[in-house]
Every structure is written in C-alpha cells, then in structure tokens.
Chains A and B, each alone.
Chain A
Amino acid sequence: MPSKSFASRTYRDQGVVLRTHKLGEADRIIILLTAKHGQIRAVAKGVRRTSSKFGARLEPFMVADLQLVAGRTLDIVTQAVSLGWYGRDIAADYSRYTVGAAMTETAERLTDVDSESATAQYQLLIGGLAALSRGEYPPEMILDSYLLRALATAGWAPSFTECARCSAPGPHSAFSPALGGVACHDCRPPGSAAPAPGTVVLLAALLEGDWTQAVKAEEQQRKEASTLVAAYLQWHLERAVRSMKLVERV
C-alpha cells in the first residue's frame, strides 16, 4: 500500500491544550481538543528545550492555530500560532489553576469517545478558560457553570425547573443525579438531596450562563450548588475527575 504524501497528511485546525506529558529527551505529547477534528494526541518535538520555536504556545490552557501532520498513532505539531494566551493568567492564581485543570480533565473525558459534540465542547471550554483567565467571576462558579454546560452538551442536560421524571412544573425541592435534576414530591427517589430554593435558582442560572442572576447567590447556596454539581458529574463519568479533589472551595 503506497503511503500518503506528507502534503496530503498535513492539516490545519484550532485547538486548546488539555494536558501534556513528557516524551523521550525533550519532546512532549500534547492532548488537544480541536474545533474540527475532535480530540487529538500529537507530538511536539523539542518543546522542552528552552530554544524551542513553540515556546509556551503548547502548554495547558493555551489556544492555538495549529498545523499538524497525521501519523499512524500520534500526529505531529509542525506549527502553532497563539490565539489565546490563557495559561499565564491561570497559572498565576492557584485557585484558577486547579479549576482550569478540572475543566480540561472533564473536557478530555467527555470528548475521548464522543466526537459528535466535540466542536460544541471546544467552544464551551475556550469560553470558560477565557473567563477564568480574566477573573470575571469566582473560579469555582466558573467551574460549576462549565461542568453543567459541558454535561448538557454531552447529552446529559439536567433539569432545574420542571420535574426530571414527570415534567410537572417547578419549583421542586428534591434533587437526584440519577433522575437527572430536580424531582416533584411524587417522583423523588428516597435519599434525594433537598437543596435550598435559592440553590436551585443558582444551579439553573449556572446552566443558562445567566451571571447577573448567579452572582446574587449567597455563599451557603454556592457551596451547596458545588456539592450537587460534583455529584451530578460523578454520576455520569465512570471514573472520578482527579482534579476535583484539589479545587479550592469558598
């Protein structure tokens, strides 16, 4: 079988770096979420040398316009032009850093098999990282909003108004990750959480991206919302998201 030419294997896309790890002497494997090609694993050659032409453009949380060459198991990054320099501002604040890690780890999990929603997941993640790097809202609220929206994009949209089972109009006072949101008095499974009404309003606002509403929430409601979001995430992903343990809560 004739192998395809170098030129025909070259492609271009925009991507955000989810994670990197060392390879050999001075290379790194870069795990990327791209706009058009879904999740990609590529080698960046010589990137750990201080003379590397890539500089910091292929570090976690960075968004770049990339040129790649498709390989059998791993692609190779040949060019990278920065589109979003988010890494520096995220690494300069430890709370942002742990939240950023939880976001990229979740994005990797949600896109490793599901390539259908990858483009939407890409847009959502770069929006979240941009907000995180600008410090617009408290990092843990950006995380909760991102997690709810990422899970919704993956097909697991929670319901915070009508009953997740019988669609009875809300507000309801029980929440069940297994059921997929709030539940009415008749549908609530035993052992459901019973969040405060303000917490359910906050969750709905975080899912909608309604920040005017979300920032009105009190500390107690933010804490409760975070616990429920973490439970909802855990329910849908088989393995725990490791970074969640290091996220600093208010």
Chain B
Amino acid sequence: MYEGAVQELIDELGRLPGVGPKSAQRIAFHILEADPEDMKRLATSITTVKERVQFCEICGNVTEEATCSICRDTRRDPSVICVVEESKDVIAVERTRSFKGRYHVLGGSINPIAGIGPEQLRIRELMTRLSDEQIQEIIIATDPNLEGEATATYLGRLLQSIGVTVSRLASGLPVGGDLEYADEVTLGRAFEGRRSVSS
C-alpha cells in the first residue's frame, strides 16, 4: 500500500475496464513521472468529456448536443434504423459507408447473470420511436456473440407483431467476436446480405 494520493490514484485506475492492479500501479507511476502539462491536459479532457458529452435524446449515441449529428442530418434515411449495442458500434458501421439510415444504441446486451435484462437497455425508447416515427425497417446489428444473438432473438420476437421489417446482419460475420473488430468489407457485406427475422 502506498500513501494517500498515490494509492487513491491506483485504486481509481484499477476500476477502469481492462486495468488490473499491476497495470494500475504502472500507469500511476507513469503519471507521477510525466510532464505536468501533459497530465493537466489529460485531466482536463476527462473533465470536459464528463461535462459536455451526453447521450442523444433520440438514439442514445454520444453527442455534445441534445441530439447527435446523425439524427440531425436530414439526408439520412428516416425509414431505417440500425440497432447496435454501443456507440463504438455506430462508428464501426459508419466506416462501412453502406448504411444510410439512423441508429438506436441499446447500451449493452441482455445478460441475465450480470443483472441486465430488457428493462436495463434502451428498448422502451426504441418502441417509442417506432410509434412516433415513419420507420419501415429495423436492422439488428448486435455483436455476433451469444449475448448479442440472444438480444437479437428477443428484439425479433418483440418487433414481430408491429408490422415493420426486421432483419439481422448476415451470418458472414464470424461468431464469437465483437462487432467493432469486424473489418469494413466483411461488415459491409453482412449489411448487404442481411436476412429477415420473421419467424
């Protein structure tokens, strides 16, 4: 155990995703030895992001205004919504340049053991959008892993009765992985070959 402030920093860093106690200690000592101006910039960007960035009122994507740039863009097709787990998946799909509609960010996937059910995700907000907007197609682009598949299954069942076309990205995506690691070509192809989930 270190004294006061150092230990506090190690504890805080250790709470970040993917940072174990050893890495936390290494990063803390890097910060201690680094140029004060550099570290001030880091601290400021953390403060700024927490003050300025929020979630889009419509789709849940990260934004610095009430709604995100994609929802504000009138050139985007308002009749198609691509449902993704997280904001970083919006970036992954945008990279493919094969999707011109809008998004809905769920905030994760259904994971009962972790205490995350449909209620903990932005599913109710999606249903509200469906009743307000002129949406004709929903493309489910959750991660091609087990939790993502189960979430797609749940959404497919829920949306079935509503009278919109529901499709899931084609199985060309390798299973087991995260959407963000799929390359543009593969992901683009998965979009082109999406299959309807109407059963």
Residues of A within 8 A of B (CB): 19, 21-26, 47-52, 54-61, 87-88, 90-94, 97-98, 101-102, 104-105, 242-243, 245-246
Contact = CB atoms under 8 A, between A and B. Distances in A.
Contacts of B174: 50-52, 55
Contacts of B111: 101
B95 to A, nearest CB: 14
Contacts of B117: 245-246
Nearest to B115: A242
14 contacts: A26-B178, A26-B181, A48-B178, A49-B178, A50-B178, A50-B181, A59-B146, A60-B146, A90-B150, A94-B157, A97-B153, A101-B112, A101-B113, A105-B112
Contacts of B113: 19, 101, 104-105, 242-243
A57 B153 contact: no
A25 B18 contact: yes
A77 to B, nearest CB: 13
B177 interface: yes
A245 B173 CA distance: 32
A60 B149 CA distance: 12
A59 B18 contact: no
A50 B177 contact: yes
Interface in B89-127: 110-115, 117
B145 interface: yes
A98 B146 contact: no
Interface residues of B, number: 28
Most chain A CB neighbours (cut-off 10 Å) among B112, B181, B182, B183 = B112
Contacts of A94: 150, 153-154, 157
B175 interface: yes
Given A50-B181, A61-B146, A91-B153, A24 B18 contact: yes
A87 B150 CA distance: 10
B193 interface: no
Nearest to B182: A50
Contacts of A26: 178, 181
A18 to B, nearest CB: 8
Please give me the 6 A-B residue pairs with the lowest Cβ-Cβ distance, nearest first.
Answer: A243-B112, A101-B112, A56-B176, A91-B149, A56-B175, A50-B177
Nearest to A105: B113
B17 interface: yes
A23 B18 contact: yes
Contacts of A51: 174, 181
B186 interface: yes
Given A94-B154, A242-B115, A52 B177 contact: yes
Interface in B177-199: 177-178, 181-183, 186
Given A97-B153, A98-B112, A105-B112, 8 more contacts: A50-B178, A50-B186, A55-B175, A91-B146, A94-B154, A97-B150, A97-B154, A245-B117
B150 A55 contact: no
B36 to A, nearest CB: 29
A52 B176 contact: yes
A91 B150 contact: yes
Contacts of A101: 111-113
Contact of B149 (A50, A52, A92): A92
A21 B116 CA distance: 13
A142 to B, nearest CB: 16
Contacts of B154: 94, 97
Nearest to B173: A50
Contacts of A23: 18
A56 B145 contact: yes
B138 to A, nearest CB: 17
Contacts of B186: 50
A248 to B, nearest CB: 10
A92 B153 CA distance: 6
Given A59-B145, A59-B146, A92-B149, A49 B112 contact: no
Contact of B181 (A49, A54, A105): A49
